Structures are given as structure tokens and as C-alpha cells.
Amino acid sequence: MTQPPRSSIDDAEVAKFQAMAAEWWDPAGKFRPLHMLNPVRLDYIAAQIAAEFGRDRRSLRPFEGLRLLDIGCGGGLVAEPMARLGAGVTGADAAEGNIAVARIHAAQSGLDIDYRATTAEALLAGGERFDVVLALEIVEHVADPADFIATCARLLRPGGLLVASTLNRTPQSFAAAILGAEWVMRWLPRGTHDWRRFIRPDELAAMLQAAGLGVVDSAGMVFNPLAWGWSLSARDLSVNYLMTAVRGPGMGAAG
């Protein structure tokens, strides 16, 4: 008897975001921090893809011909811009409510995005492979981060690119993401994040390397309360950060 693929899904974490699904596209709602953060992380992701695949970002659809997976896509805040840049986008999320919202918004925007209520493990079991895998603000919410990263790595074609973003486990991140975002500003419901599940850059790098990927870049995303906006930093990874890794040509199909 064939066993179902093992899942890294944490049902309690999925339920949190399922409850907020209808607010994904409200820039003043519960996902306001992501709307504010989105331009910076999109710029980073686009720069990494363009550099790895030799694409000209000034062209109309620079990522034409690339197959991209946004795992934990939510309502499609990243999937939609990637589709506009020409990538063939698959958006996957374990919360069916998120996928329902994403499908409606994509249809209203005239975008053809393959949204699926599924998991990384199920996609891998189905033989799916991608040029780019995005795992944004999801690693800290899965049951087994190392196993999840290994699955994402195996979803990449040889030469493929994985971009992950998460929160560092530091006093600064506790102050910003939990005390600030949840308790003071009330941008997110209390309990959205668990500081103990945050992942240090050296820990994430070790997971990527253990999965057979080579880390090629990292950057922090820093919030400036005076300018009321985000910027990238090559040095300050103390709160939010991104990391890019590449799958080498010699990595076998089994990982």
C-alpha cells in the first residue's frame, strides 16, 4: 500500500492564516506588514532571479519561460507580480481559504496563475519541478523546518534557485515582530508568531547546505520608523531577512 507523502504542515499554524484569509488584499488589514514589506522583498527576489538566469529586468517580461513555485503563497501578494514579470507561477498553500481568495483576485486581475490547496510534499510526490522556489515567511510556521527546506530543494531543477525569508531569533525580532507588530501596533493578532520558532541565519544556511544547496546571498529587511518604510541591508539581518541558494547540477533526483 502506497503511503501518503509526509507533511511538514502544522495544523494550528494553518488555522491562524485561514482565519485571516479574507483580509489578504486589504493594505490596512491584518496583512498590512506584508503589504509594506512587499516592494522590498520583490525587488530582492527579482534581482536574484535575474542574476542567476541572466535576465534583463528592464524587459517587459524578463522571467518568461521560467517555472516558479510560491509555497505558502497566501493570497498571492508575490505570485501576482511574478506572473506579471512573465514567470509561469504555481501558488501553493495548505489553507484552502487563502487559495480561494488568491484565485478570485488573480481572475479579477486577468492573471493566469496555477493556484493549488496543497503542500510541498504533495507537489514533490507528484513529480513537480521548478526553476525557482519561493518560501517566504513560512519556514518559521512549519512543523519541521529542516525537512521542509529539504523538500523545497528537491522541488528544484538542477541549477534552480530557492529564495527563503524568515525572522531571526534575536531580542530585536521579539521587540519588533511580537511586541511591536502584535502588541503595540496591533497589525497582527496576538499569537501570530512564536519567537521560539524563529530561525537564525546560520541555522537556515545549515539547513540549505544539508539539503544540497549552495547559499549565494543573504540580506536583511530593515524597517525605518522615521521614513515609515523598509529597505534592504547587507549587514543587518537581526529581524527579517532573506537568503538565496542554488541547486547544483550534480544533485540527484532523490536529493
Record the cell numbers describing residue 220, joined without a space: 536583511
Domain of residue 41 covers 11-247
Residue 98 lies in a domain: yes
Pick from 229, 176, 183, 220: nearest CA to 200: 220
Residue 154 in any domain: the answer is: yes
252 lies in a domain? Answer: no
Q: Which amino acids are annotated as binding site, given as ranges?
A: 41, 72, 93, 136
- The answer to whether the beta carbons of residues 26 and 77 sit under 8 Å apart is no
Binding site for S-adenosyl-L-methionine, by residue number, is 41, 72, 93, 136
Q: Residue 157 belongs to a domain with what CATH number?
A: 3.40.50.150
Whether 127 is in a domain gets the answer: yes
Place of cell 524578463: 62
Task: From first to last of the 255 residues of the chain, give the pLDDT tens digit.
Answer: 445 456 666 676 656 555 555 688 989 887 888 899 999 999 999 999 999 999 999 999 999 999 999 999 999 999 999 999 999 999 999 999 999 999 999 998 999 999 999 999 999 999 999 999 999 999 998 999 999 999 999 999 999 999 999 999 998 876 666 645 554 455 566 656 676 788 999 999 999 999 999 999 999 999 888 888 899 999 999 999 999 999 987 554 434
Number of domains comprising the chain: 1
